[in-house]
Amino acid sequence: MAEKETRACPQSRSAYRRFASFATRWRDNDQYGHMNNAVYYELFDSAVNKFLIETSILDIAGADTVFLVASSGCNYFEEVAYPSDVEIGLSVSHLGSSAVTYHLGLFIAGAKRTAATGTFIHVNVDAKTRRPCAIDDPIRAKFADLVVGAAIDLR
């Protein structure tokens, strides 16, 4: 018997541990007069990479490992359009041995509820072989501030 799927709902700011602000651009709107769905993914990716860069998890030039997106998804609740400033909320809903699941929320600046929510699953891989490898303890500690609930594999 198939499991019943739960319906996604807008989230409050308390569901997120960190926020990044972005301005929408004229080109973000599509012919329907709202932000194109691909732009949501760009904003989510930018918020995640901003966190990785600011915490020195991501070293573009010389890292032995890199995080690659293995899966992503988005649920939309409210239209967003240029000109709007947006805030991306970021938390970690699961921290495994080699993978991180980010929970993301797109808020129109100042809003109490998300206009969209998203997920990204990053897998830590060897920069040369692209094979999964364990997230080391110093990096795991940097993710710990974003974890919500009991979402860490204790290994």
**Which CATH number goes with the domain that contains 67?**
3.10.129.10
Q: Which residues of 5-41 are buried (b: 16+ CB within 10 A; e: fewer)?
A: eeeeebbeeebbebebebebeeebbeeeebbeeebbb
The reported pLDDT for the residue numbered 62 is 81
Cα Dmax for the chain = 49
55 lies in a domain? yes
Q: With respect to residue 6, please indicate whether it lies within any of the assigned structural domains.
A: no
According to the model, what pLDDT value does residue 75 have? 98
Residue 96 included in any domain: yes
**Domain presence at residue 109:** yes
Residue 8 lies in a domain: no
Is residue 82 situated within a structural domain? yes
Question: Would 155 be classed as within a structural domain?
Answer: no
Query: In this structure, is residue 7 part of a structural domain?
Result: no
- Provide the pLDDT for residue 61: 81
**155 residues of the chain, pLDDT tens digit each:** 566 667 899 999 999 999 999 999 999 999 999 999 999 999 999 999 999 999 999 987 888 999 999 999 999 999 999 999 999 999 999 999 999 999 999 999 999 999 999 999 999 999 999 999 999 999 999 999 999 875 444 44
Give the domain extent around 41.
13-144
Number of domains in the chain: 1
- pLDDT of 4 reads 67
pLDDT for residue 60: 79
The DSSP code sequence of 23-74 is: E--GGGB-TTSSB-HHHHHHHHHHHHHHHHHHTT---TTT-SEEEEEEEEEE
